[in-house]
Structures are given as structure tokens and as C-alpha cells.
Amino acid sequence: MHRLGAHFFAATLLLLPGVVLPGVAVAQAGEGLVGTWKLVAFKVWPSDAKEEARDALGPNPQGRLILTATGYITSFRVAEGRKPAQTDAERAQLLRTMAAWTGRYRVEGNKLLVKIDASWSENDTGKEYLRTFVLDGKRLTITTVTPSSNFFPGRPASGNEFFERED
């Protein structure tokens, strides 16, 4: 009986981190993703015509993707060559040449599920998005499919973001 109690206690300790700290347990599944990633390219195309692929934020976008071991994620992306705004029209143009959001993530195989809790446009706030990823050493490719694209209004689209590990 005493030995059974010791085994039960040991098993409970092994399982407890996943119960007490679910974000840590979930994030461990995507341990290779944890860190800081520099955006090197961002390509989008309408789902019905891949030949219309374009650079979403120009040929040299700037930005970071940061994933923590506790399941938080932040994405910030801008087009190259932006200038400080002086007018409302210029401010609107700055919004059209960026994307930013933050939230929680979990990994299931090669699927990255992101629940956005704040976003630059508010269109994505409160929504969960499924992305797939390929991790190849210090390179990360994330693919997103969306029913309506900012780049192809009213059309479903796909996009690939290409990152290089910074840390």
C-alpha cells in the first residue's frame, strides 16, 4: 500500500505541470518554434489563381514573429520604405502597409493555431486562425488560408510567410 501511494504521488507530479500550466505543456509540442524570427518574405495569392501571387508587403518586408514557451505569440510586419505620416491619407497608407497582432498559440503536429486577442485592424481580434508550418533548421515557413483577403478583397487567398531564426 505504501509503495502504491509513492507511485501515485510520482505519477501525479509528472502530470501536474500539464494541469497547472497548460500553456507550457501545449507550447512544448512546438518547442522548435519558440524564439524570435525575422520576416524575410511574405507572398500571397488568391486561392483560385496562383499565378497572381504577389509580395504582400513589397520585396523586402520588415518584421518579427515572437513565440514564447508559455504559448504567447506576437507578429509585427511592415513594408519597406515607409515614411512618417503628415496627413490623414498618409496615416491610412501606413495602416495599409502593415499587419500586427498578438495572442495565444498552440501546436498540433504541423498546425499552428492562433487565438488573436488584439490586432492592428480589429478584423482579427477574438478569432482563431489555423496556419500550417514547416521548420527547416533556422528557417520557418508559415502558410495561412483565409476566406477573405486584405490583398484580394472578397476572394479567398493563401499566403506564405518566410522567416529566419534570430536567437
pLDDT of 78-93, one tens digit each?
999 999 999 999 999 9
Asked whether residue 121 carries a pLDDT value surpassing 50, the answer given is: yes
Q: What confidence tier does 29 reach under pLDDT thresholds 50, 70, 90? A: low
Grid-cell match 490623414, residue found: 88
- Is residue 6 within a helix (H) or strand (E), and if so which, with residue range? helix 2-20
CA distance 86 to 160: 32
CATH pick for 22-165 out of 2.40.128.490, 3.30.710.10, 3.40.50.720, 3.10.290.10: 2.40.128.490
User: Rounded to whole angstroms, how far apart are CA atoms 75 and 65?
Assistant: 5
> DSSP for 59-97?
SS-EEEEEE-TTSEEEEEEE-TT-----SHHHHHHHHHT
pTM above 0.75, yes or no: yes
Domain residue extents for the chain: 22-165
- Confidence class for position 138, pLDDT limits 50, 70, 90: very high
> Quick check: 119 and 100 in contact, CB under 8 A?
yes
Helix (H, G, I), strand (E, B) or coil at 15: helix
> For the chain, how many helices (H) and strands (E)?
3, 9
Measuring CA to CA, which residue among 67, 69, 66 is closest to residue 28?
A: 69
- pLDDT more than 70, % of the chain: 81
